[in-house]
Structure 1
Amino acid sequence: MMYDVIIIGAGVSGSASAREISRYKVNACVLEKAEDVCCGTSKANSAIVHAGFDAAEGSLMAKLNVEGNLMMEQLSKDLDFDFAMNGSLVVCRAEEDMPNLQKLLDRGIKNGVKDLRIIGREELVAMEPNIADDAVAALYAPTGGIVCPFGLNIAMAENASDNGVEFKFNTEVTGFRKIDGGWIVETNQGEFETKCVVNAAGVYADAIHNMVSDKKINIVPRRGDYCLLDKSAGKHVSHTIFPLPGKFGKGILVSPTIHGNLILGPTAIDIENKEGTNTTRDGLDQVIEKAGEYVKDLPLRSVITSFAGLRAHEGNHEFIIGEVEGAKGFVDCAGIESPGLTSSPAIGKMVAGIVKDILDLEEKEDFIATRKGILKPDTLSKEDRDKLIKENPAYGKIICRCEMITEGEIIDAIKRPLGAKSLDGVKRRTRAGMGRCQAGFCSPRVMEILARECDMDMLEITKSGGKSVIAVGTNKDSI
Structure 2
Amino acid sequence: MSFYDVCIVGAGVVGMNIARELAKYELKVCVLERCDDVSCGCSKANSGIVHGGYSDEPGTLKAELCVKGNRMYRQLEEELHFGYRETGSMVLAFRDEDVEKLHKIEAKGQKNGVGGLSIIDGDRAREIEPYLSKDVKAALYCKNAGVTSPYEFVIALAENAVENGVELRLNSEVTAIEKTNDGFKVTAANAETVTARYVINSAGVYSDKVSAMLGIDDYKITPRRGQYVLLEKEQSYLAQSVIFQVPTELGKGILVTTTYHGNLLVGPNAEEIDDKEDVGTDAKTLEHIVQTARLSVPDFDMKKAITSFAGNRPISNCKDWVIEESRVPGFINLIGIDSPGLTSSPAIAVMVKGILVQAGLSLVNKANFNPLRKAIIRKKDAAFKGDINATDPNEHIICRCEQVTEAEIIDALHRGIAVKSIDAIKRRTRAGQGKCQGAFCGSRVRKLIADELNITQEEVTQRGPGSSILPERAKRGEFIKL
Provide the TM-score with structure 1 as the length reference.
Answer: 0.94
- Partners in 2 of 1:124 and 1:316 — Cα distance? 36
Q: Give the equivalent residue in structure 1 for 2:330.
A: 329
The structural deviation recorded for 1:334 is 2.1
Q: Determine the C-alpha separation between the residues in 2 that align with 1:300 and 1:247.
A: 28
Give the Cα–Cα distance (whole angstroms) in 2 for the partners of residues 70 and 392 of structure 1.
44
**Are residues 409 and 214 of structure 1, via their aligned partners in 2, closer, same or farther at CA, if it must alter by over 3 Å?**
closer
Shift of 1:354: 1.7
- Secondary structure at the counterpart of residue 255 of structure 1: strand
| Aligned-partner Cα distance in 2 for 1:417–1:350 | 27
Unpaired runs of 5+ residues, structure 1, are 473-479
Contact 2:462 2:470 in 1 (8 A): no
Q: What corresponds to 1:239 in structure 2?
A: 241
- Contact map agreement 2:93 2:139 (CA 8 A) in 1: yes
Q: CA–CA distance in 1 between the matches of 2:337 and 2:420?
A: 27
1:431 corresponds to which residue?
Answer: 430
CA distance in 2, matches of 1:409, 1:371: 15
**1:248 corresponding residue in structure 2:** 250
* Contact kept? 1:64, 1:343, Cα under 8 Å: yes
Number of positions where the alignment pairs a residue of Structure 1 with one of Structure 2 = 466
SS in 1 for 2:4: strand
What residue is the counterpart of 1:226 in the other structure?
Answer: 228
1:148 and 1:154 map into 2 onto residues whose CA distance is 10
**1:177·1:183 contact (CA, 8 Å) conserved in 2?**
yes
* 2:150 paired with 1:117: no
Contact 1:458 1:471 in 2 (8 A): no
For the 8 Å contact 2:102–2:140, the answer to whether it is kept is yes
Equivalent residues in 2 for 1:6-155 (5 A)?
6-155=7-156
Q: Secondary structure at the match of 1:393?
A: coil
Letter in 1 for 2:293: A
Alpha-carbon shift at residue 318 of structure 1 (Å): 2.1
Classify the secondary structure of the residue corresponding to 1:367.
coil
Return the alpha-carbon distance in structure 1 between the equivalents of residues 193 and 419 of structure 2: 26
CA distance in 2, matches of 1:457, 1:471: 14
CA contact (8 A) 2:224 2:270 kept: yes
- Tell me the SS of whatever aligns to 1:352: helix
In the other structure, the counterpart of 2:312 is 310
Q: Which moved more, 1:329-338 or 1:361-370?
A: 361-370
Aligned-pair distance for 1:361? 2.4
Distance 2:267 2:129 in 1: 18
Contact 1:459 1:469 in 2 (8 A): no
2: CA distance, partners of 1:89 / 1:317: 26
**Equivalent position of 2:460 in the other structure:** 461
Partner Cα distance (2:194, 2:379) in 1: 42
Counterpart residue identity of residue 250, structure 2: F
Q: Whose helix fraction is larger, Structure 1's or Structure 2's?
A: 1
Compared with structure 1, are the counterparts of its residues 268 and 287 closer, same or farther at alpha carbon in structure 2 (3 Å cutoff)?
same
1:240-293 per-residue CA deviation (whole Å, 9 max, x = no partner) reads 000000110100100011111100000100001010000122221121111011
- Indicate the SS of the match to 2:355: helix
Shift of 1:219: 0.8
User: Whole-Å Cα distance in 1 between the matches of residues 236 and 131 of structure 2?
Assistant: 13
State the partner residue of 2:164.
163
In the alignment, which residue of structure 2 is the partner of 1:477? none
1:219-251 CA-to-partner distances (Å, cap 9, x unmatched) read 110000000000010111111000000110100
Compute the displacement of 1:419 (Å). Answer: 4.7
- Measure how far apart 1:353 and its partner are: 2.1
Distance 1:56 1:182 in 2: 36
In structure 2, how many angstroms separate the alpha carbons of the residues matched to 1:368 and 1:378? 27
Following the alignment from structure 1 to structure 2, what is the Cα–Cα distance between the partners of residues 102 and 392? Answer: 60
The alignment's C-alpha RMSD in Å is: 1.8
Q: Distance in 1 between matches of 2:419 and 2:316?
A: 32
CA distance in 1, matches of 2:151, 2:97: 40
Structure 1 residues 128, 173: closer, same or farther in 2, change over 3 A? same
User: Does 2:419 align with 1:417?
Assistant: no
Tell me how far apart the structure 2 counterparts of residues 445 and 215 of structure 1 sit (CA, whole Å): 47
Q: Which residue of 2 aligns with 1:357?
A: 358
Aligned counterpart for 2:277 among listed residues 269, 275, 278:
275
Alpha-carbon distance in structure 1 between the residues aligned to 2:68 and 2:334: 17
CA contact (8 A) 1:7 1:200 kept: yes
1:196 aligns with 2:195: no
1:376–1:194 CA distance, 2 compared to 1 (3 A): same
The equivalent residue for 2:478 is: none
* Secondary structure at 2:125 match in 1: helix
The percentage of counterpart residues that share the same residue type is 42
Greater alpha carbon shift after TM alignment, 197-206 vs 292-301: 292-301
- For 1:144-200, what per-residue CA distance to the aligned partner results, in whole angstroms no more than 9, with x for missing partners? 100011111111111111110000110010111111020100111222111110101
Matched with 2:208 is 206
State how 1:387-398 maps to structure 2 within 5 Å. 393-398=392-397
Whole-angstrom distance in 1 between the partners of 2:47 and 2:319: 18
C-alpha distance in 2 between matches for 1:72 and 1:112: 17
| Contiguous gaps of at least 5 residues in structure 2 | 472-482
Secondary structure, counterpart of 1:84 in structure 2: strand
